[in-house]
């Protein structure tokens, strides 16, 4: 399965945004290990929300590791590897907002998932559960996260 963000995707609701949807178009990445998707359309109640432009960016980048690594240095006495590197998948986003009537500033966002080499093969179910648990926590607290960014109360 390959990552291909299209749309319309259903976003979550908050007090200010109801029934939000976003459509994306694929864009050229800076390197051959990334995929870029730019917000091309919006739906639902989103008064004042801009779609992607050069001045007001809104996009998501999916980056795979530069090189997948394997665990190495297996110790037959201890039964453990001496070196277990992390294969890091990153999801990077950039949004934007107006800070005054004539000034737009970017909002950088990043999620990194560092999976130990060998984990997806030996214990895929726990790798999946760990990632889904993390994403579920973010999804469950989505409105609280947005509110905390607004009022500083965590």
Percent with pLDDT over 70 in the chain? 98
Residues 51-74 have pLDDT tens digits of 999 999 999 999 999 999 999 999
Strand partners, 116: 86
- Output the 3-class SS for 42-96: EEEECCCCCCCCCCCCCEEEEECCCCCCCCEEEECCCCEEEECCEEEEEEEEEEE
User: How many whole angstroms separate alpha carbon 142 and alpha carbon 98?
Assistant: 22
pLDDT at 20: 83
Residues 2-48 have pLDDT tens digits of 888 877 887 766 777 777 888 999 999 999 999 999 999 988 888 88
pLDDT at 5: 85
pLDDT at 139: 82
Angle at 109 between CA 104 and CA 115, to 5 degrees: 165
């Amino acid at each position: 399965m390959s990552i291909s963000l299209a749309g319309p995707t259903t976003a979550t609701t908050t007090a200010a945004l109801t029934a939000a949807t976003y459509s994306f178009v694929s864009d050229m990445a800076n390197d051959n290990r990334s995929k870029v998707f730019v917000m091309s359309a919006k739906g639902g109640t989103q008064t004042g929300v801009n779609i992607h432009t050069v001045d007001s960016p809104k996009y998501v980048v999916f980056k795979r590791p530069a090189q997948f690594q394997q665990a190495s240095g297996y110790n037959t006495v201890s039964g453990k590897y001496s070196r277990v590197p992390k294969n890091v998948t990153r999801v990077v986003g950039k949004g934007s907002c107006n800070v005054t009537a004539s000034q737009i500033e970017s909002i950088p966002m990043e999620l990194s998932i560092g999976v130990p080499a060998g984990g997806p093969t030996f214990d895929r179910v726990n790798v999946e559960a760990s990632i889904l648990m993390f994403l579920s926590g973010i999804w469950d607290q989505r409105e609280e996260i947005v509110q905390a960014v607004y009022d500083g109360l965590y």
